[in-house]
Structure 1
Amino acid sequence: MNRPFIFLLFFFSSAGGLYAQIADRAFVNGKIYTADDDQPYAEALAISGELIVYVGSDAGVQAHIGTATVVEDLEGRLILPGLHDVHMHPLEAGTPAWGDCLLDPYEWFTDDLVDALVDCNPQPNSNGWILAYGHSIFTLLEDGTVPRFALDAAFPDVPVAVGEETSHSLWVNSKALEVAGIDATTPDPEGGHIIRHPGNGQPIGILLDNAGDLVLHQALASTPEIDAQNLYGLLNYSLPLMAENGITSACEARTYLLRNYVDTWQTVRDSGLLTCRMILQPWIHPELDDPGQIATLVDLYADDDPMLRINQVKVYADGITINATAALHEPYDYYWGLPFDTGLNYIEVNRLSNLIATLEPLGYDFHIHAIGDRGATEGLDAVAFARTQNGDLGARHRITHLEIVDEADYPRFADLNVTADLQVSGWWTEPQHWDENIDFVGPDRSDAIIPLKDLENAGARITLSSDWDVSTLNPFRGIQNALSRAPQQISSREAAVKAYTINGAYVMRQEASTGSLEVGKWADFICVDQDIFTVPVNQIALTKVLSTWVGGVEVWRSDELPVISRLEEALVAEDQLRLFPNPASDFLTVECPGQQIRRIDLFASNGEWVWSVNGGNSAQVTFTSERLPSGSYFLRARLADGRARVRPFVRP
């Protein structure tokens, strides 16, 4: 079907009457915030297949309701566009590959951390490494001990690597240093620093930033076991939790090619179990040569699947403030005695400029990590350089974090069309904690940590994201904190929601298809349990998602919502709705002879909805049933012509 015909179809559909398209499902008696400035609020929403066919009044939606339409009374509940989280780490957040030893960041003695690790009884992974996570770097640097020796006492013969709570440093024992080939003569890697004993120059067991990443590439190198753990975490933890939190589109903000992440995500997609529109962002490795990485990125580029794309790149300009590795224009007030006092660069500005200038003509947008003011300036400078080389290609670059920003750079975000991607969900970003940065950067640079209001007032496009699992995944915590962080708060509740919806869709290059609720866009939306536009600001974070829809398929439904099912369509003979090879199989294929299937719905024998899968108007639809419990079910196939066929089956 060509696009002009689609436009006419939806034009008549929105007008109602003779040409109104009959919906699969209609939602009535609600409050619907659309994020569309031409029609910000509505009462009713109707969907057919993967698309929205009506947004408007309860009276107007009646023209789209047919005998097979499922009508859901919202009872005044709020519907929002599907939420976008354009900076998160779902594979790393969910994988069991790190083990299950989580250390306490508030434990102040190194020996007590080691005791807790011993009590956890960690076992080596398939690469022979013991891994753990969660301590604070302050404990190791202020305790007066040599951190690797503390680990050596308990783990002398197996390499141990413990990730610090921010993920920007690694605590290792002597065996880990030996396996990684790090000793007193090893130079600092690009973008990292090996902390050494001031007396003998030997590594003390703390690896900052990319120095730690290089070790983790060995410890977490792809093996069948680790790949399986990564896949398990996505399917059983991260993706379900994202759906439960209303996330319908997201960006993985660090896709490690050296750890086989792309293949893991593709396996999820191929299985039909991807419940969120994803963009993967291959990470630029500071230690690898750029021509080789560029060649790899040319081969990886993929923009044709709306559920899984590779069209963005993640690059770090700098580190973080508490490590004294965030890149600053002026020296740190305190920097742990490190051999540099203005931070470091993972990728220095000339290299970053050339990478952007080379890759943006291929369709890649850059996601630039910058904590310090120099990091932000250099990110903007690199985009400006690419503009001089390529002209304005309409790129959707963004700089993320932006904890310290030079005031002179505020207007440059709008001038260069660079989005400011901010994370305000973490407690440490709230104004009452800003003075905790004073020891490192002084009072002047601590008085506007993440200058959200100033950037917004300067015309910058704002996105809000989580950086999960560094911060909570809950987007409503982000909305609440954005509104309550005076003097650097966002301008309105609507602006905060747009920062999670249409603005996120823009940086993902999908604002024409989602991010707002408009006729002809994908049916990506959520229903929540309270009106976030009217409740007190300090209650917004308590909002619960009741239902999450992606492309017309419900991927999450809370027990608080009533069961909705319409199985009154006549049951058909098994040869009219075939299910093969047999109900006991881990993968089942559905076929309606001579018909195209728009969608499959599965219901329990009591009529309770179980799940849906988009059929894409295919002759056959295959789905995984490996985790489907034994029992009696109804299978409903919604056909391309709007009719439905239903048959029961029993899974042994």
Structure 2
Amino acid sequence: MKHEFTLRTLGAAIGLALAAPALFAQTPTAAPKPVTAPPAAAKPAPAPVTTPAVAPAKPATTPAAPATGATPATGTAPTGSAAPADPNAPPPAPPPPPLSDIIFTNGDVVTLDDKRPAAQAVAIKGTRIVAVGKAKDILARWKSEGTEVVDLAGKTLVPGFVDAWGQLSRLGLYSVAAPLQPPPGGSVSDINGLVRTLRDWSRGDLAQRFGWIIGYGYDDSRLREQRPLTRQDLDAVSADKPVLVIHHSGRQVVLNGKALELAGITRDSANPPAGSIGRWPGSKEPDGVLDGAAAAALLGALPRLSADDRQALIQQGQTLYLQNGYTTAVEGRATPDDLALYTQAADTGALKLDVMIYADLASAGPVLKGHKSVGPKYYKNRLRLAGVSLALDGVAEDRSAWMSQPYQLPPPGKRSAYSGYAWASDEAATDLITRAYAGGWQVAVQANGDAAIDQAIAGLRAAATKQPGKGRQPLLVGAQALRDDQLDGLKEAGAAVSFAPQRLALSLAALKDYTLGPERSARFAPAGSALARGLPVLLHADPARLDPSPFAVMAAAAKRPLGEEQQLAPLDALKAVTLQPARQLGEEKVKGSIAAGKLADFAVLSANPLKTPADKLGEIRVVGTVKEGVTVFSSNEGGVPITR
């Protein structure tokens, strides 16, 4: 993927690509040939003289037909003539509409519907599925003139993927920032390589226009030096331009001296609630590292791109989702600025898949009640409010998750008893969750350390007592160090859990040797235990990976390098990226499985994930994505309908 390009060019290109079907639909075609009217009856009623629809072939030798359309006495119609049109006749009846618009056949259909787990064909009418079953039955009952029969050619049809937790617009930004991911997703393996990558990116057009040098995907736990970045490292990139590096988790940033100056962060700056400003050991001087709310505040204060450029970032993120078979995306921790951005995209018809928003409760909660475009009940131009969200700690890989027991090794400058830290007090966490319940909003809580999960469970219980009600469906996001004894508390609260299983393989060495140790690492993101206890298990893509591949997620959940008892069967993993998130979002009646009456949201795959070995799941490709019966992505490998 290229990382230096003009956002306006990207936006125009995507807009043209999305508009192309409509443009082709407006292309004029040749005028149809006149239709010859049928002969009139033997004794027609008198009618005014009219011009024949087709002139006689030989007017000099063949008498014209009578004006009334009657034939000559011989009873034969003149050669080459046509009966005149009757102006009093009713217009011809239009052809009957097709019984179905599209029929998929000749491939595997994985329905995820317990009543019919597998099928051979699916019929669609408009935006909905009208029939699922055997190919011969579907074709006999639902195929008629005008039906498009799509030959899957042995490919597999599954429900469109539903995001459990993501950041669609930020994915667009991160995909064009300097790529700082370590192997295998990237090439940055040490700090010198990181500095070189940032310098190279700083020479590009986007850096010149934006005024800041920005990199994404940095992961100190996987750098050769095994230490966090500091302002001194980034001063080596540039001392004159502000430099910002975004941690793969999205919850930490590192600044150079110029960026700290522009942000107004000094030795006298106080830590914000639920955040921290890193300091040099034994000093109050900032070292350039901002965590939690401090990082979020800085990201919100960055210089703004133009409205067109920011919309282009949404289109870039949307394109990545569509290429990976998603028909419903999520924007987690959305700010008021995000709400305005998505509202604009929705109002202009730019959203080609459904987008659900979890608004950041602390910053966006106050504006939700009066927001005219983003509500929890109905989509407006493919945009809907899923609920609100809050974060209680960081991640285990960089030792910012809040643990009940100390880390295997403390970070540099920390005591041996270091166990991470909370981003909010117990009272503040309970107050936020209670506000969510009082507002009638579903709440998503990001918590990875077991101490933070304890805080989340206590907050859910207290909020349910203060604001009793049904159908809360809270969501715990992350849950890296979830303990067995916490599962019952989550089940009591009616909570679901969404894991990002890719982090185990990506950070295995750091988790085992530096942060959690072997025993706790074996329970990292314990999806198997959660499923066995009856909790709804969801899966989401790791934020460090710019390609939100559902199959990479499924592969990480089905084939773990450590802790086999926490693995998921491929069927459960597939449900965790389709049916379960649809249920969590309250859309299981229309999404998540292939059944009559549901939306025609599909992904066409190169192979059947239920017939593919667990270690090969990541090799499956999405060859087409269909949203409500319309092709929104095609790799030109076949198996998707023509864009209508």
**TM-score past 0.5 threshold:** yes
Cα separation, 2, equivalents of 1:454 and 1:541: 23
Cα separation, 2, equivalents of 1:342 and 1:539: 37
Partner of 1:190: 273
335-344 or 40-49, larger mean C-alpha shift: 335-344
What is the DSSP-based 3-state SS (H/G/I as helix, E as strand, rest coil) of the residue aligned with 2:330?
Answer: strand
CA 1:347–1:472: 2 relative to 1, 3 Å? farther
- What RMSD, in angstroms, separates the aligned Cα atoms of the two structures? 2.9
Task: Please point out which of 231, 238, 242 is paired with 1:159.
Answer: 242
1:408-464 CA-partner distances (Å, limit 9, x unpaired): 11223322221110112346368xx26734422344422311111111111111011
CA 1:361–1:514: 2 relative to 1, 3 Å? farther
Contact 1:278–1:309 (CA<8 Å) still a contact in 2? yes
State yes or no: 1:207 paired with 2:281: no
Task: Please point out which of 405, 410, 413 is paired with 2:490.
Answer: 413
Task: Please point out which of 212, 237, 248 is paired with 2:327.
Answer: 248
1:144-200 CA-partner distances (Å, limit 9, x unpaired): 999323433553333222223333322212222222221112122222222212244
Cα separation, 2, equivalents of 1:212 and 1:470: 20
Write out aligned runs for 1:453-464 (5 A): 453-464=528-539
554-563 or 400-409, larger mean C-alpha shift: 554-563
What is the DSSP-based 3-state SS (H/G/I as helix, E as strand, rest coil) of the residue aligned with 1:26?
Answer: strand
Write out aligned runs for 1:109-508 (5 A): 110=191, 113-122=194-203, 128-137=211-220, 147-152=230-235, 155-220=238-303, 222-223=304-305, 225=306, 227-235=307-315, 237-257=316-336, 260-285=337-362, 293-300=364-371, 301-303=374-376, 304-305=378-379, 307-336=382-411, 337-338=413-414, 341-426=418-503, 428=505, 433=508, 436-470=511-545, 472-485=547-560, 486-508=563-585
Cα separation, 1, equivalents of 2:418 and 2:537: 31
Contact 2:127–2:629 (CA<8 Å) still a contact in 1? yes
- Alpha-carbon shift at residue 505 of structure 1 (Å): 0.3
1:556-598 CA-partner distances (Å, limit 9, x unpaired): 122111686xxxxxxxxxxxxxxxxxxxxxxxxxxxxxxxxxx
Contact 1:243–1:555 (CA<8 Å) still a contact in 2? yes
1:207 maps to amino acid? L
Q: How many residues of Structure 1 are paired with residues of Structure 2 in the alignment?
A: 534
What is the DSSP-based 3-state SS (H/G/I as helix, E as strand, rest coil) of the residue aligned with 1:242?
Answer: helix
Cα separation, 2, equivalents of 1:269 and 1:357: 30
Contact 2:604–2:639 (CA<8 Å) still a contact in 1? no
Contact 1:413–1:459 (CA<8 Å) still a contact in 2? no
1:7-55 CA-partner distances (Å, limit 9, x unpaired): xxxxxxxxxxxxx981111122332221111221122111111111111
Contact 2:445–2:476 (CA<8 Å) still a contact in 1? yes
Cα separation, 1, equivalents of 2:353 and 2:141: 31
1:169 maps to amino acid? Q
365-374 or 75-84, larger mean C-alpha shift: 75-84
What is the DSSP-based 3-state SS (H/G/I as helix, E as strand, rest coil) of the residue aligned with 2:402?
Answer: coil
Cα separation, 1, equivalents of 2:442 and 2:630: 29
Partner of 1:89: 167
- Alpha-carbon shift at residue 125 of structure 1 (Å): 6.3
Under a length normalisation based on structure 2, what TM-score does the superposition of the two structures give?
0.76
Partner of 1:513: 590
Cα separation, 1, equivalents of 2:510 and 2:238: 38
Contact 1:318–1:371 (CA<8 Å) still a contact in 2? yes
- Alpha-carbon shift at residue 494 of structure 1 (Å): 1.8
Contact 1:124–1:130 (CA<8 Å) still a contact in 2? yes
1:239-282 CA-partner distances (Å, limit 9, x unpaired): 2221121111121122222xx22222223222323222110122
- Alpha-carbon shift at residue 491 of structure 1 (Å): 4.4
1:354-410 CA-partner distances (Å, limit 9, x unpaired): 222222343311111111111122222222222212224201211111111122112
What is the DSSP-based 3-state SS (H/G/I as helix, E as strand, rest coil) of the residue aligned with 1:315?
Answer: strand
Cα separation, 2, equivalents of 1:529 and 1:349: 48
1:287-324 CA-partner distances (Å, limit 9, x unpaired): x6xxxx54223223513216211231121111122333
CA 1:75–1:59: 2 relative to 1, 3 Å? same
Cα separation, 2, equivalents of 1:34 and 1:562: 17
Identity between Structure 1 and Structure 2 (%)? 25
- Alpha-carbon shift at residue 335 of structure 1 (Å): 2.9
Contact 1:434–1:447 (CA<8 Å) still a contact in 2? no
What is the DSSP-based 3-state SS (H/G/I as helix, E as strand, rest coil) of the residue aligned with 1:177?
Answer: helix
What is the DSSP-based 3-state SS (H/G/I as helix, E as strand, rest coil) of the residue aligned with 1:328?
Answer: coil
Cα separation, 1, equivalents of 2:623 and 2:348: 25
2:451 maps to amino acid? R
Cα separation, 2, equivalents of 1:446 and 1:499: 22
- Alpha-carbon shift at residue 513 of structure 1 (Å): 1.3
CA 1:299–1:153: 2 relative to 1, 3 Å? same
Structure 1, gaps ≥5 residues long: 1-19, 565-608, 613-652
Contact 1:137–1:169 (CA<8 Å) still a contact in 2? no
What is the DSSP-based 3-state SS (H/G/I as helix, E as strand, rest coil) of the residue aligned with 2:361?
Answer: coil
1:450-490 CA-partner distances (Å, limit 9, x unpaired): 11111111111101111445464111122222221252444
1:483 maps to amino acid? A
- Alpha-carbon shift at residue 140 of structure 1 (Å): 9.2
More strand by share: 1
Contact 1:79–1:527 (CA<8 Å) still a contact in 2? yes
State yes or no: 1:69 paired with 2:147: yes
2:594 maps to amino acid? L
CA 1:460–1:563: 2 relative to 1, 3 Å? closer
Cα separation, 2, equivalents of 1:230 and 1:543: 32
Cα separation, 2, equivalents of 1:144 and 1:516: 45
- Alpha-carbon shift at residue 210 of structure 1 (Å): 2.6
1:503 maps to amino acid? Q
Contact 1:95–1:231 (CA<8 Å) still a contact in 2? no
What is the DSSP-based 3-state SS (H/G/I as helix, E as strand, rest coil) of the residue aligned with 1:88?
Answer: coil
CA 1:114–1:477: 2 relative to 1, 3 Å? closer
Cα separation, 2, equivalents of 1:517 and 1:37: 10
1:483-535 CA-partner distances (Å, limit 9, x unpaired): 21252444432211111111110111111111111111111112212122112
Contact 2:390–2:445 (CA<8 Å) still a contact in 1? yes
1:335 maps to amino acid? P
Partner of 1:546: 623
Cα separation, 2, equivalents of 1:322 and 1:30: 42
486-495 or 61-70, larger mean C-alpha shift: 486-495
548-557 or 462-471, larger mean C-alpha shift: 462-471
Cα separation, 2, equivalents of 1:143 and 1:37: 48
Partner of 1:8: none
CA 1:410–1:472: 2 relative to 1, 3 Å? farther
CA 1:64–1:219: 2 relative to 1, 3 Å? same
- Alpha-carbon shift at residue 107 of structure 1 (Å): 5.3
Under a length normalisation based on structure 1, what TM-score does the superposition of the two structures give?
0.75
